Amino acid sequence: MIKYKYKENELINELQEYINKTYSEHYSTGDIQPIDVIIDSGYGTGFCMGNITKYLNRYGHKGDPSEHRKDLMKILHYTLLQLYVHDKKTDSTLIKN
């Protein structure tokens, strides 16, 4: 077993819990989420990269340290979504819905 020096395993678990929580929030009612429409319209990269930039620039400037940490979680989540968009655009066999 790997002994993670920087608690990566715990942080990955925390990120997964954060993402799981987003699936029960108001933007994810039904089977189709707004990002599905955005991606299908060809704007997925702009949307994801724009949000990564937004939260990156906001980090440390709005709210308290708990809000700063939440911004980092959002950056990681949008990065994962962009990986999905990237893979879907570059090799349709990588992503299977």
pLDDT in tens, the chain (97 residues): 999 999 999 999 999 999 999 888 766 667 788 899 999 999 999 999 999 999 999 999 999 999 999 999 999 999 999 999 999 999 865 555 5
Domain that holds residue 27: 8-90
Overall number of domains in the chain: 1
3 is a domain residue: no
2 is a domain residue: no
In a 10 Å sphere around its CB, with 0-12 CB exposed, 13-18 middle and 19+ buried, how is residue 13 labelled? exposed
